[in-house]
């Protein structure tokens, strides 16, 4: 197991180096630099003189070719320095990401917990009532939800709950008068703002997980030991819960690992629609502003999480299933 872990970690580091090298090359080759792109478009009179741009480029090491600059960036990262954000008053990238992280985590962790809590009962119910009319309609509905793009759902919900009913705010994380509200008022305000984004984050994975559980349950329910349990008179509820569901946990647990990166990424479009001040929006803004260090910091984080999630899934697999060993 230890040698397996070391090998996986070694491969992971190489993969990370390749990914960051590739993305660094890509973003450095986007036309425009952080000092020319945005301001010139907004106001030509604010455009910096070529000398000033030159000076800034030298200051930030952007005058070097990108493959050289990559190694500067990488060696700084190894020493724990992620650089500064050019377009946000030279704020360190680490601080910036940490500032934006809670907003994203609020959405993604809530939706993850909700999706797991709801999908288990739905999945079990639909495998217990397989092929009844109510089960078929619920399954069809879930399938349709699974195919409904999140940005379409977001717009439809905004139309319904903001334009038509006027119950929930359109976007943002807090109201303008948030600071003046009492503690309970603040919580209520936040809840109202977070409702639509959380729904949009949740329904897709809810549909996916419950279909996943149902498919695995159907597989398990066909096994001989289930027939044996039925034959000896075990209550249907106990069969579903104890005999069948426990054996579907193995593939289900690996899903937890694979959903880890989704906690942080996967939010670019939704955070944009809801003007949610999280990391997805930060990423989107940084591409527009050619803010290389922020893009690279976020890419590094997303890729590390993806790799860590895959590793975690494989390890969990060995933990829950004694038949699986890595040697």
Partner 1 sequence: MLTTPPEVEIALAESAPSAGFWRESWRRFCRRRLALVALAFVVALMAIAAAAPFIAGTKPIICKYKGHIYFPALGYYNRAWENPIFAKDRFRGRYAGTLAEKDPDSWAIFPLVYQDPYRRVRAGEWPDQPENPFGKEGVPSRYNWFGTNPQGFDVFASMVHGAQTAVSVGFVSMGIAAAIGITLGALAGYFGGWIDVLISRVIEVVMCIPSLVLILALVAMLDKVSNVHLMVIVGCTGWTGIARLTRAEFMKLKQLEFVSAARAMGAGASRVMFIHILRNALAPVLVPITFGIADAILIESGLSFLGFGASPPNPSWGTLLSAGRRSIEETWWLIVFPGAAIFLTVLAYNLIGEGLQEATDPRLRQDAH
Site residues, partner 1 (CB under 8 A): 11, 14-15, 18-19, 22-23, 26-27, 29-31, 143-144, 146-149, 151-152, 155-156, 158-159, 162-163, 170, 261, 265-266, 268-269, 272-273, 283-284, 287, 295, 298-299, 302-303, 306-307
Question: Whose Cβ is closer to partner 1: residue 145's or residue 234's?
Answer: 145
Comparing CB distances to partner 1, the nearer of 79 and 209 is 209
Angle CA 265–275–263, to nearest 5:
20
The distance of closest approach from Cβ of residue 150 to partner 1 in the complex, given in angstroms and rounded to an integer, is: 9
Handedness of CA 282, 283, 289, 290 (dihedral sign): positive
Nearest CB to partner 1, comparing residues 238 and 275: 275
Give the nearest distance from C-beta 186 to partner 1 in angstroms.
Answer: 26
Residue 261 CB, nearest approach to partner 1 (Å): 8
The span from the CA of 146 to the CA of 208, in Å, is 6
Residue 66 and residue 295 in contact, taking contact as beta carbons nearer than 8 Å: no
Nearer to partner 1, 125 or 284 (CB): 284
> CA nearest 122: which of 203, 214, 200, 201?
214
Shortest Å, Cβ 117 to partner 1: 25
User: How wide is the angle at C-alpha 320 spanned by C-alphas 315 and 326, nearest 5°?
Assistant: 40
CB of 273 to partner 1, least distance (A): 7
Return all residues near 250 (Cβ < 8 A) that are at least 6 apart.
317, 320, 321
How many CA atoms are closer than 13 Å to the CA of 100, on its beta-carbon side? 26
* Residue 123 or 261 having the CB closest to partner 1: 261
Q: How far is the CB of 88 from partner 1 (least distance, A)?
A: 19
- What's the min distance (Å) between Cβ of 303 and partner 1? 5
220 close to 247: Cβ distance less than 8 angstroms: yes
Of 174 and 272, the one with the shorter C-beta distance to partner 1 is 272
Helix ranges restricted to H, 233-291: 236-238, 246-258, 268-273, 279-289
As to burial, measured by CB atoms within 10 angstroms (0-12 exposed, 13-18 middle, 19+ buried), residue 77 is: middle
Nearer to partner 1, 252 or 274 (CB): 274
Cβ 234 to partner 1, closest distance in Å?
25
Angle at 288 between CA 285 and CA 293, to 5 degrees: 75
Beta-ladder partners of 85: 91
Rg (CA), the chain: 25
Residue closer to partner 1 by CB (options 129, 237) is 129
């Amino acid at each position: 197991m230890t040698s397996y872990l070391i090998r996986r970690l070694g491969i992971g580091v190489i993969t990370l180096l390749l990914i960051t090298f590739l993305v660094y090359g890509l973003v450095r080759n986007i036309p425009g630099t952080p000092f020319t792109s945005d301001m010139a478009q907004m106001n030509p009179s604010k455009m910096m003189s070529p000398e000033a741009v030159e000076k800034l480029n030298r200051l930030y090491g952007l005058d070097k070719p990108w493959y050289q600059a990559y190694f500067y960036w990488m060696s700084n990262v190894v020493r724990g320095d992620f650089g500064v954000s050019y377009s946000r008053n030279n704020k360190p990238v680490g601080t910036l990401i940490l500032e934006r992280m809670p907003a994203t985590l609020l959405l993604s962790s809530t939706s993850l917990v909700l999706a797991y809590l709801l999908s288990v009962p739905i999945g079990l119910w639909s495998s217990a009532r397989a092929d009844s009319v109510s089960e078929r309609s619920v399954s069809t509905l879930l399938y349709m939800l699974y195919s409904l793009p999140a940005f379409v759902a977001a717009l439809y919900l905004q139309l319904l709950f903001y334009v038509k009913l006027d119950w929930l705010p359109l976007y943002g994380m807090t109201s303008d008068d948030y600071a003046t509200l009492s503690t309970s008022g603040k919580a209520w305000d936040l809840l109202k703002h977070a409702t639509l984004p959380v729904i949009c984050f949740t329904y897709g994975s809810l549909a996916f997980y419950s279909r996943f559980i149902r498919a695995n349950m159907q597989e398990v329910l066909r096994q001989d030991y289930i027939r044996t349990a039925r034959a000896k008179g075990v209550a249907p509820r106990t069969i579903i819960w104890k005999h069948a569901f426990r054996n579907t946990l193995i593939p289900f647990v690996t899903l937890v690992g694979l959903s880890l990166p989704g906690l942080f990424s996967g939010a670019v479009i939704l955070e944009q629609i809801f003007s949610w001040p999280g990391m997805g929006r930060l990423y989107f803004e940084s591409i527009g502003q050619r803010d290389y260090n922020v893009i690279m910091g976020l890419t590094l984080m997303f890729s590390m999480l993806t790799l860590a999630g895959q590793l975690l899934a494989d390890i969990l697999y060995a933990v829950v299933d004694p038949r699986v060993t890595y040697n």
